[in-house]
Amino acid sequence: MLEALSYDFIQNALLAGILVSIASGIIGSLIVVNRMVFLAGGIAHTAYGGIGIAVYFGLPIFLGASVFAVLSALIIASITLKHRERMDTFIGLMWAVGMAIGVVLIDLTPGYQADFMSYLFGSILAVSQADLWFMGGLLGLIVSIMTFWYRDILAVSYDSEYANLRGINVPFFYTLILLLSALTVVVAIKVVGLILVIALLTIPVYIAEKLSHSLFSMMLLSGLFSSVFTLFGLWFSYEYDVASGASIILVSASSLFLFLGVGKIRG
């Protein structure tokens, strides 16, 4: 294992794993407390349409996926703010259509089939320098937004009606949470793939929620757990030569069951 650390791509993978884990710990906490898990799933799958478009037109993949994810977040925000009762139907629709666009455009791209699986299940070992900059930039953005607007985001998440009465712009912060979720989903796709994104955004968060007295400590713990699971998953994937994304999720899920089991025994 130690000699592996001297490879550039392993170093990149470890750094990417930690950056994405912290980002998904913070945003995953917001997604869970706001009951937006299904929304995040919708955004992740819609983003696949963006990947298809980027591949077909030869654009950078991250760019395509980000633009598509951000657009879908804006559409979902405007729908849920106006027609909350029809929200699940619209998200299901976008989920399926986004995937379909992605699949068709990748099929139409001449000679391109090889990397198809890497977007579904992640390709953390293929993280480039540019990807790392993107991940670091996003984490910086998330941390600064949370620092400046923590109290507003907390108020909107806990009790949006009351937040509105206190003069907080609820639609703005709701949209902001969805936008940050969209961008986090895009970088998490690189690590675990879009099918497993939801697990990365929820499993560490679920454990952290049980141990936390405040949203802040929940975010901190989620980021920590997520980093540990990701690094351990990477080691497992290297040692036994199995897919990295799935290894990370299995490590996370095993930890969750262990956590729940210990909780049960202790009563």
Number of residues interacting with other proteins: please give it, by CB under 8 A: 25
Q: Measured from the CB of residue 84, what is the shortest distance to other proteins in angstroms?
A: 15
> Does 154 sit near other proteins (CB under 8 A)?
yes
Q: With contacts defined by CB under 8 A, name the span among 10-18, 99-107, 124-132, 209-217 that binds other proteins.
A: 209-217
If one asks whether residue 157 binds other proteins (CB under 8 A), the answer comes out as yes
Shortest Cβ distance from residue 134 to other proteins (Å)?
26
54 binds other proteins per the rule CB under 8 A = no
Work out how close the CB of 152 gets to other proteins at its nearest, in angstroms, rounded to a whole number: 8
Instruction: Check residue 267 for interaction with other proteins (CB under 8 A).
Output: no
Among positions 7, 9, 133, 158, the unique one binding other proteins when judged by CB under 8 A = 158
- Residue 8 or 161: the one with the smaller Cβ distance to other proteins is 161
Type of residue numbered 257: F
Burial label, 148 (beta-carbon count in 10 A; 0-12, 13-18, 19+): exposed
132-135 contacts at long range (C-beta below 8 A, 24 or more positions apart): 132/12, 132/15, 132/16, 132/19, 134/62, 134/187, 135/16, 135/19, 135/20, 135/23, 135/187, 135/190
Q: Using alpha carbons only, what angle is made at residue 115 by residues 109 and 117, rounded to the nearest 5 degrees?
A: 115
Long-range contacts of 166-171, Cβ-Cβ distance < 8 Å, separation of 24 or more: 171/77, 171/81
| Cβ-based neighbour number of residue 234 at 10 Å | 23
CB of 143 to other proteins, least distance (A): 12
CB 98 within 8 A of CB 41: no
Interactions with other proteins, residue window 118-147 (CB under 8 A): 147
CA 267 to chain CA centroid, Å, is: 32
- State yes or no: residue 82 binds other proteins (CB under 8 A): no
The yes or no reply on residue 234 touching other proteins (CB under 8 A) is no
b/e sequence 41-77, b meaning 16+ C-beta within 10 Å: bbbbbbbbbbbbbbbbeeeebbebbbbbbbbbbebbb
Of 92 and 171, nearer to other proteins (C-beta) is: 171
Cβ of residue 82: shortest distance to other proteins, in angstroms? 15
Min separation Cβ 226 and other proteins, Å: 16
Q: Which stretch binds other proteins (CB under 8 A): 158-166, 171-179, 236-244, 256-264?
A: 158-166
Least separation in angstroms between CB 113 and other proteins: 45
Enumerate residues 244-263 that contact other proteins by CB under 8 A. none
Do 57 and 109 touch, CB atoms closer than 8 A? Answer: no
